[in-house]
Structure 1
């Protein structure tokens, strides 16, 4: 059975993000190669990856070249920096599926680019990106921005395990 992974906010081709988020890279090329290598180190060709937005600032050819190198069946949920381009643009760049709206995974996990409003009585967890190095102080939110996971897609089992620990503890 394929594994499922989540990740967001790669910002491929966006040089200023290195300084904005204090990323440990000395160039765009170094950032790109490291993030592609870390993706492929954990994601197999048959695995599924939900990218929760802000994938690339490159043109279609540059974006497609990166997408083609990444393992797995790739679903993109559009982020604020992705929305200037159509769903068709992203599909032509190599994503297998593209959603303009949040998705529900496993009946319990709400996948979105930006954190969604959840009150403490809602029985859901929001897996999101957008806020990069920041983090909400609530067990209902899991930030999968690359800065929180060493620039590596995080396995669903890891996220689900966070909630099993809460139930057992």
Structure 2
């Protein structure tokens, strides 16, 4: 396996997200194509990507066409906008794995769509999306919504460097 990447909240096909989040795109086609290109600029074929929800507002055929264009082994952790469709729907749309609940990665990182409550004494980090351009303070939260990462997935190594002091790595 190659590198591991995390991302969320692409909202492929969602015209209104451009205005809601002041995304720098003229229209949904430009947004979709730019996000596909930026994904493939950083993710290789042998890499793994955890998508933390709210992937697409398109029908299954159009969603599958996008998923097929994206590099990597793709794992979807369903977000609130994904829940109107079944786990099987997302697998049929091309995801390699789909989880309806948050997962623990590396024994230390909670991967979830929405931010989870993290007591400041808890020794974990919550990698999440959902709140788009907003951000929680502190090293226990990392928002991987595309608005924070130039509309591309971010490597797990970059996240780890931000939250784990260098002497602990």
Shorter-chain TM range is over 0.9
Structure 1's unaligned 5+ residue stretches are none
Matching residue of 1:130: 130
Matching residue of 2:18: 18
Matching residue of 1:60: 60
Query: Secondary structure at the residue paired with 1:75?
Result: strand
Q: Using the alignment, how far apart are the partners of 2:165 and 2:40 within structure 1?
A: 28
Q: Using the alignment, how far apart are the partners of 2:36 and 2:132 within structure 1?
A: 18
CA RMSD of aligned residues (A): 1.1
Q: Using the alignment, how far apart are the partners of 1:166 and 1:15 within structure 2?
A: 41
User: Normalising by the residue count of structure 2, what TM-score does the alignment of the two structures yield?
Assistant: 0.97
- Post-superposition shift, 1:139? 1.1
Structure 1 residues 33-63: Cα deviation after superposition (integer angstroms, max 9, x where no partner):
0000000001000100000000000000010
Query: Secondary structure at the residue paired with 1:74?
Result: strand
User: Normalising by the residue count of structure 1, what TM-score does the alignment of the two structures yield?
Assistant: 0.97
Matched, 1:31 2:31: yes
- Post-superposition shift, 1:163? 2.3
Structure 1 residues 122-165: Cα deviation after superposition (integer angstroms, max 9, x where no partner):
10000000000000012100000000000010000100111234
Matching residue of 1:118: 118
Q: Using the alignment, how far apart are the partners of 1:120 and 1:42 within structure 2?
A: 32
Structure 2's unaligned 5+ residue stretches are none
**Equivalent residue pairs, number:** 168
